[in-house]
Structure formats: structure tokens, C-alpha cells
């Protein structure tokens, strides 16, 4: 009973959207026009190698922050549109108007 329910709720839609069998995710193959499988590891890693990579990435990010921002060659209307799309504060205000808490329900 439960196996059939799991197959109906999870396995069948997974197969429809990825063309892969849910039970053989370890041999996942990406097909054009279908969803890709993103495997997430929620266990915190205590590896020193990972910490070194994180430190290197943080240093690289800080170096990029110090570079001057080049003047955009895009049309001013396109620049304004991109600024509007990327305006986090405006998005949060719009969500608040709809009484949607983005912190409780992240998109």
C-alpha cells in the first residue's frame, strides 16, 4: 500500500520530468528539455580541504569587490529594468503587500 503511494506521489512524477527512474538516481542521465537532478548534502563537512577552498573563495570575492565597476554599455532602459528585477527590497515589499512571509516560505 505505502510503496504504491510513494511510487504514485514521487517516483512517477520524477520519471515524467527527468526520463530517469527514481530508484536508480545514482546513474542519473540528463536529457534535453527535461529536469536535471541536483543532489544536496545537508551534512556539514568538517574537512580542512573544504575550509581552505572556502577561504580561497572568500579572498577572491574580496579582491573582486575592490575592482572598479566598469560603465555599462547597455541602453539606460535595459539598465533600469535589470535594477528593478534585482531590487531585493522592492521584491520583499511586494511580498509583504501580498502578506507572504518570504522568510517562512523561501522561494
pLDDT digits (tens, 9 = 90+) for 37-89: 887 776 765 555 567 778 888 888 888 888 998 899 999 999 999 998 899 88
Residues 39 and 75 grouped into a single domain: no
* 66 occurs within a structural domain: no
> What are the distances in angstroms from CA 46 to CA 54, 59, 82, 101?
12, 20, 39, 33
Q: Is residue 97 part of a domain?
A: yes
Residue 48 lies in a domain: no
Report, as an integer, the average pLDDT of 13-36: 89
Give Cα 79 to chain centroid, integer Å: 24
Residue numbers of the domain that contains 96 = 71-107
Q: What kind and span of H or E run contains 52?
A: helix 48-65
∠ CA 5-9-15, nearest 5°, is: 120
Predicted pLDDT of residue 101: 73
- The reply to whether 39 and 1 lie within a common domain is yes
Cβ atoms of 28 and 20 closer than 8 Å: yes
Domain total of the chain: 2
Within 10 Å of residue 20's Cβ, how many Cβ atoms? 19
0.75 exceeded by the pTM?
A: no
Q: What per-residue confidence (pLDDT) applies to 5?
A: 79
* Domain contains 17: yes
Number of alpha carbons in the 13 Å side-chain half-sphere of residue 29: 4
Sign of CA dihedral 98, 103, 106, 107: positive
In a domain, 36, yes or no: yes
Amino acid at each position: 500500500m505505502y510503496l504504491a503511494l510513494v511510487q504514485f506521489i514521487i517516483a512517477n512524477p520524477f520519471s515524467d520530468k527527468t526520463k530517469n527512474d527514481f530508484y536508480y538516481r545514482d546513474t542519473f542521465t540528463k536529457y534535453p528539455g527535461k529536469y536535471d537532478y541536483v543532489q544536496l548534502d545537508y551534512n556539514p563537512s568538517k574537512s580542512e580541504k573544504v575550509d581552505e577552498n572556502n577561504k580561497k573563495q572568500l579572498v577572491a570575492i574580496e579582491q573582486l569587490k575592490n575592482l572598479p565597476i566598469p560603465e555599462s554599455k547597455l541602453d539606460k532602459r535595459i539598465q533600469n529594468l535589470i535594477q528593478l528585477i534585482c531590487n531585493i527590497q522592492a521584491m520583499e515589499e511586494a511580498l509583504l503587500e501580498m502578506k507572504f512571509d518570504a522568510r517562512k516560505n523561501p522561494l
